[in-house]
Amino acid sequence: MNVAWCIDLFSRSPQIIESQLRFLSNLGEKSKINVTPASLVWSRDLVAGSMKSGDLDLANKLINATLSDLKRTTDRYSDRLVFKKPLVVVSSKRTRRSAISEFVKKIEIGKFDSLAISTKNRAGLSRWLMGSFSEAVVLQTELPVLVTNPNSKIRKISKIFWPIDLAEEIELSEIRFVMRYAANQKAKVLIYHQILTKMEPAFTTGEFLVALNPEKSGILTQAVEEVERKMKIFKKTAESYGVNLTIITQERSVQIEAGIKRASEKKNASIIIMHSSKSRGKAFLLGSTSRNMIRISNIPIWVRRGTC
């Protein structure tokens, strides 16, 4: 696996760095993970900081000094992680968002399987802001993203918590990916599904289950049959990979994010796999559930792109 590890050269935190490295070292399958430190240097940050100009030579000195400090930390993980030459993008774009877009495109040109990033340690209302840089990267990239925060509980990957809507289309290739990864890690897979109640609109059909008689309309029956069909596919795929699979169903009586957070913590999950749109054009939607989980979860999250 090749991972682009996003780090902030200007506000790097030893706690964040250690948390990310511990997580990445646990993430490895049968072979080591190739990690490329990736950083964005925006010329306007240089001007706004202690420097009086965005001189590239001065920026390079700062970068080299920072990477030298970083190497002392990364050396401790060299038995499980292979660190590649750092990717540093110096951008002179007019806005921060444009600079981040340039940074993301440079990463996507590389042959990376995933991108790793950390959100900031916040509490209360400010936590919902997630961090402008982290959120912008997650929203703009089409790569899968591994997300941690300073409070993330880093464990050996033994329980993969996978919240999905079994009424939606799911790519078989993605089911196989998760089961194959679980098999390589010798981990259990916990699928979490919230059951649609009679009082909710069935947005996938454009009809409302709160109709005069939803049972007679057949909508509820069709939804249940579709979920049962998907469950069989998951169970069959898990068996083919020798994976221990548990499907957890819960009536949607609570906000979906609260249900996921509570259930994943109760089950001591090692990682949560979330899904979002594959299209950059839909980036700002990301998937409200995925986006909110990134903001509130203290369990590492792997945001994967695609239909699910």
Q: What is the pLDDT of residue 284?
A: 40
* Domain 2-148 in this protein, CATH class: alpha beta
Q: What band does 186 get if pLDDT is binned at 50, 70 and 90?
A: very high
What is the C-alpha separation between 169 and 246, in angstroms, rounded?
A: 20
10 vs 266, higher pLDDT? 266
What is the C-alpha separation between 198 and 202, in angstroms, rounded?
A: 9
Which residues are bridge partners to 33 per DSSP? Answer: 81
Q: What is the pLDDT of residue 289?
A: 80
Rg (CA), the chain: 21
Q: Do domains 2-148 and 159-305 have the same CATH topology?
A: yes
Indicate if the pLDDT at residue 116 is higher than 70: yes
Q: Are 125 and 300 in contact (CB under 8 A)?
A: no
Q: Are 38 and 8 in contact (CB under 8 A)?
A: no
Tell me the three state secondary structure of residue 212.
coil
Q: What is the DSSP letter of 279?
A: -
Helix (H) or strand (E) holding 123: none
Residue 138 backbone phi and psi in degrees, to 5: -60, -40
Domain regions of the chain by residue span: 2-148, 159-305
Structure tokens at 208: 């409302």
Q: What is the pLDDT of residue 46?
A: 55
Indicate if the pLDDT at residue 85 is higher than 70: yes
Structure tokens at 11: 């506000």
271-276 and 159-163 beta bridge pairing: parallel
Q: What is the pLDDT of residue 62?
A: 66
Indicate if the pLDDT at residue 214 is higher than 60: no
Which residues are bridge partners to 87 per DSSP? Answer: 38
Judged on CB neighbours under 10 Å (0-12, 13-18, 19+), 278 is middle
Residue 171 backbone phi and psi in degrees, to 5: -70, 130
Mean pLDDT, to the nearest integer, of 219-240?
83
Mean pLDDT, to the nearest integer, of 219-230?
73
Domain 159-305 has CATH 3.30.465.10: no
Least confident window among 66-75, 143-152, 193-202, 207-216: 207-216
**Mind listing the pLDDT tens digit for each residue in 126-172?**
443 445 688 788 888 889 999 988 888 888 999 999 998 877 778 88
246 vs 85, higher pLDDT? 246
Contacts 24+ apart (CB under 8 A), 166-169: 166/193, 166/226, 166/227, 166/230, 166/231, 167/196, 167/204, 167/223, 167/226, 167/227, 168/204, 168/307, 168/308, 169/307, 169/308
Q: What band does 1 get if pLDDT is binned at 50, 70 and 90?
A: confident
Q: Are 283 and 254 in contact (CB under 8 A)?
A: no
For Cα atoms 62, 3, 246, give the angle at the middle one, nearest 5 degrees. 140
pTM: 0.81
Judged on CB neighbours under 10 Å (0-12, 13-18, 19+), 49 is exposed
